[in-house]
């Protein structure tokens, strides 16, 4: 649906005008800590802010509070043992992380998985994308002062999580994907339940839009806030909905065309404006595209085996692989180096939140303190993904 921009109201609450307009009284700059225990920093992020009145002069992010040595653990565990760890660092996209890791290992070992397995993996990844964007949607509502949408979003997320639980036995950290296949096949009622969900979910997205997206207060907070130019995107290697909100149609699903994505029809939603509201619209539209992908997957889902035979002692050849996937937060990369033994020699995650958060000081410079929360919410970070 084309969105008419509510431009006229912007003058009432400017967010990015220059410092020169408020030089009437000489004041001292103020140094304050935001976080790490702050409800709107989505975890434990600490920002050291230099303030001039209500305006941000400089923001310095401090991270590392959740550093859990995920990469060092990989060097001490076998390839199969590491799969559940992959869930744990970007917990909102657990299926996607497993997907990236098992794809990297399979590429290294030359394992081809069955068509049914590929379809189920994509179904899981897209369901996880919907669940993740619902958390984003609800939390951005919370950040901007709207409590109700959060509860509605979690009502639908519950349905997705219930389907995950029926399939894998877990609600958040699944350990469902295995090297060369899956833990088990889909339960009998899965396809019917998912089809039912896909039927009514687009109406629910409209409900959220009516509640939040088209709310005039919400739009006044978001429009023009956190301008991310294409130049900044290039300099900071921004990816995911953030870069698509700035008019660059960069989506790894299309660019790399991994798994069965080339056989599926879907659009890459983009917005030109590059502000927080543009990024918000991109994410909402992405949920609709995920519904489209899931419907096609259910239609085409082939019968057959889900697992291929993989040796118990998995020893890939000496070599390395860099596998990229599109996570809900952007370009997720798994760099895996093998020395020919049972354990990875080196594993490095190209975590999308890690690279996307770097641009925050540029976005909040000159903005109101209250808008930091909006800008941070609109970048959509997950802190364990950053600290790993």
What is the contact surface with other proteins in residues (CB under 8 A)?
Answer: 63-64, 67, 69, 71-72, 75, 234-237, 249-250, 255-257, 315, 317-319, 322, 324, 331, 333, 335, 337, 340, 345-346, 348, 350, 354-355, 358-359, 387-388
| CB nearer other proteins, residue 146 or residue 256 | 256
Q: How far is the CB of 62 from other proteins (least distance, A)?
A: 9
| CB nearer other proteins, residue 71 or residue 166 | 71
Cα–Cα nearest to 82, from 370, 382, 354, 344: 344
| CB nearer other proteins, residue 138 or residue 344 | 344
| CB nearer other proteins, residue 97 or residue 168 | 97
User: What sign results for the dihedral spanned by CA atoms 17, 20, 25, 29?
Assistant: positive
44 with 35: CB under 8 angstroms?
yes
Q: How far is the CB of 130 from other proteins (least distance, A)?
A: 25
42 with 63: CB under 8 angstroms?
no
| CB nearer other proteins, residue 169 or residue 319 | 319
| CB nearer other proteins, residue 91 or residue 335 | 335
Residues 6+ apart with CB under 8 A from 258: 103, 252, 323, 324, 325
Q: How far is the CB of 364 from other proteins (least distance, A)?
A: 15
Distance CA 88, CA 351 (A): 13
Count of CB atoms situated within 10 Å of the CB of 303: 6
| CB nearer other proteins, residue 22 or residue 69 | 69
| CB nearer other proteins, residue 280 or residue 388 | 388
Distance CA 122, CA 101 (A): 14
């Amino acid at each position: 649906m084309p969105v008419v921009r509510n431009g006229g109201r912007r003058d009432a609450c400017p967010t990015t005008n220059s410092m020169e307009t408020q030089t009437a009284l000489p004041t001292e700059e103020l140094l304050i800590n935001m976080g790490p225990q702050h409800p709107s920093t989505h975890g434990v992020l600490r920002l050291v802010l230099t303030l001039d009145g209500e305006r941000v002069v400089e923001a310095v992010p401090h991270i590392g509070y959740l550093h859990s040595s995920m990469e060092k653990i990989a060097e001490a565990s076998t390839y199969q043992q590491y799969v559940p760890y992959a869930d744990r660092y970007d917990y909102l996209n657990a299926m996607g992380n497993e997907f990236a890791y098992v794809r990297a290992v399979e590429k290294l070992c030359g394992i081809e998985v069955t068509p049914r397995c590929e379809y189920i993996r994509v179904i899981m990844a897209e369901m996880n994308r919907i669940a993740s964007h619902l958390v984003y949607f609800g939390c951005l509502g919370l950040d901007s002062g709207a409590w109700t949408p959060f509860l509605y979003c979690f009502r639908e997320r519950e349905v997705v999580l219930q389907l995950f639980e029926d399939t894998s036995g877990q609600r958040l950290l699944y350990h469902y994907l295995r090297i060369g296949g899956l833990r088990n096949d889909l339960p009998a009622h899965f396809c019917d339940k998912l089809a039912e969900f896909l039927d009514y979910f687009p109406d629910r997205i409209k409900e959220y839009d009516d509640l939040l997206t088209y709310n005039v207060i919400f739009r006044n907070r978001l429009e023009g806030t956190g301008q991310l130019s294409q130049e900044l995107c290039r300099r900071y290697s921004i990816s995911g909905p953030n870069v698509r909100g700035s008019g660059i149609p960069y989506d790894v699903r299309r660019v790399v065309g991994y798994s069965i994505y080339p056989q599926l029809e879907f659009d890459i939603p983009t917005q030109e404006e590059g502000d927080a509201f543009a990024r918000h619209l991109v994410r909402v539209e992405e949920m609709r595209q995920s519904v489209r992908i899931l419907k096609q997957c259910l239609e085409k889902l082939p019968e057959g085996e889900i697992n291929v035979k993989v040796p118990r002692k998995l020893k890939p050849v000496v070599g390395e692989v860099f596998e990229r996937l599109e996570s809900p937060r952007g370009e997720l990369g798994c760099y895996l180096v093998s020395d020919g033994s049972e354990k990875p020699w080196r594993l490095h995650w190209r975590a999308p939140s890690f690279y996307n958060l770097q641009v925050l000081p540029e976005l909040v410079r000159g903005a109101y303190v209250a808008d930091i929360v909006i800008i941070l919410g609109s970048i959509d970070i997950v802190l364990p993904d950053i600290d790993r």
